[in-house]
Amino acid sequence: NVYRWQKKLFRPIIKSFIDDFILDKNHLLPQRIFK
């Protein structure tokens, strides 16, 4: 099933993107407060 394979491949990419985004926000938030 091609759709299933794409979903399997696509989900980790989204998860890593969201994790990066959250990490970015967590990293930027303290800097903003301290500035």
d(C-alpha 20, C-alpha 4), whole Å: 25
Alpha-carbon distances of 24 from 7, 9, 27, rounded to whole Å: 25, 23, 5
Domain range for residue 18?
A: 1-35
Model pTM? 0.46
The count of structural domains within the chain is 1
Predicted confidence at residue 8, as pLDDT, reads 81
pLDDT digits (tens, 9 = 90+) for 1-35: 677 877 788 888 888 888 888 887 777 766 666 54
Please list the alpha-helical segments (H only) found in 1-35: 2-34
